[in-house]
Amino acid sequence: MQTRRSVMLSAAAALALSAGPARAASAGPRTAGPVRLTLPAPSGPHRVGTVSVRLVDVSRSDPWVASQPYRELMIGIRYPARTVGGYPVAPQMLPGEAAGFAALNNFSDVPGSRVDWAATRTHAHEGAPADRDRGPFPVVCYSPGVGDPRSPGTTLCDDLASRGFVVVTVDHTHDASAVQFPGGRVEKSVLPAEYAKAYPDPERITALLRKTLAVRVADARFVLDALPGALPQALRGIPDFARIGMFGQSSGGFTALQAMHDDPRIAAAADLDGVLAYVQDDSTPGNLSTVAADGLDRPFLLIGKDGNDLGTVPSWDALWRHSHGWHRGLSLRGAEHATYTDAEALIPQIARLLGLPRRTVVENIGTIVPKHAITAERACLAAFFDRWLCDRDDDGLLDGASGCHPEARFF
């Protein structure tokens, strides 16, 4: 859940990753022991089921661990459920993932060890039967920010599933803070060590950024290749692979648009505050990705934090000028980089329970009212995929005509 301007791995973020979570200056803790958190309920009409699937790509060795002769991923699948009674609610993170996230996360001035990350529950039920009567449903893939596991996108992914989408979330192994595989094995991030080897050489840092993005895009394309045959029997026929979208936050947004550029199966993609160049600051020109340099001929949506728009993010401007398909962009007043993750719901709870100062909340998720931010994000993302994967009208929401979300500034 990056709060830095870099879409992938800025110097500040990398050093923060290497050093572990920072300690907060506070008025003193208000609770004894690790605090427990909750996530907002989805807003759609469907109940949500979920399964996790291990995928193995034998066609390529692991790009981060030379001794591993294949690439191994964990994905989560969220889907509209027929019923959820008797099926357990899924955790946001498994114990190994939670421990890795506590030790290695991108929150500013938040003591990760004071939070029981494994205790947070989602609103998806493990193994619940799919709603076959109203399926099949369009597929939307999700890629998280660099260093993050797939779990911090739960608020948006559960909501999309509740609105009638099959949502596939991807853990980028050895990029994410920690990925837990069946049997309890945990694979941790190698990016802090990789950055330490590259720093301070600008060319080596740029090469690392390029490699990180290339691995992520290859992961996303492999998931699309493998998923139809890897689905559990109970989900066969539920996803409609003729209607595929993708979105992500930070470098996950970059991954989504670059994957759409490279793979014609992706019909529409949304980028939540991800720069589209191999740079360490959003405002740095040059080092454009091919998606920014070539543009897109299919629909895309850009959503930025307050201040990120075509005038301040050169790679967004390049994409805009070179694209011929439908596109829209907006920013949310008062939003920060991590506003587009579960941080928007979790950071205020952490601050309240641990007595952290207001500036810690603002530094991580900005000044926008969390409820307003979550409502606007959900509405815009659902409207985008409704329009381009379901042929449903959004009542002018994405044209800025509805006036439903006054924090949204379209560009």
What are 369-382's pLDDT values in tens digits? 999 999 999 999 99
Provide the domain count of the chain. 1
pLDDT, mean of residues 323-329: 97
Q: Where in the sequence is the domain holding 271, given as residue range(s)?
A: 11-410
Residue 5 lies in a domain: no
Residue 174 lies in a domain: yes
As a whole number, the mean pLDDT across the chain is 93
Q: What sign does the CA torsion over 127, 133, 139, 145 have?
A: negative
Between the alpha carbon of residue 116 and those of residues 96, 103, 140, the distances in Å are: 12, 12, 29
In one letter, which amino acid is 51?
V
Between the alpha carbon of residue 364 and those of residues 129, 280, 331, 369, the distances in Å are: 37, 18, 16, 13
Q: Output the pLDDT for position 29.
A: 52
Q: Output the pLDDT for position 31.
A: 58
Residue 348 lies in a domain: yes
Q: What confidence category does residue 148 fall into, taking pLDDT thresholds of 50, 70 and 90?
A: very high
Q: Answer for the pair 179, 171: CB distance below 8 angstroms, yes or no.
A: yes
Residue 39 lies in a domain: yes
| Predicted TM-score of the model (pTM) | 0.93
Degrees, nearest 5: CA angle 12-105-317: 55
Q: What six digits make up the tokens of 402?
A: 């509805």
Between the alpha carbon of residue 338 and those of residues 159, 197, 272, 305, 396, the distances in Å are: 18, 27, 10, 9, 27
Write out the E strands in 232-360. Answer: 239-249, 268-272, 300-304, 327-332
Instruction: Residue 388: give its domain's CATH number.
Output: 3.40.50.1820
Residue 4 lies in a domain: no
- For the chain, give the percent of residues with pLDDT over 90: 89
Residue 2 lies in a domain: no
**For the segment 345-368, what is each residue's pLDDT rounded down to a tens digit?**
999 999 999 999 999 999 999 999
Residue 75 lies in a domain: yes
Phi, psi of 324 (to 5 degrees): -115, -10
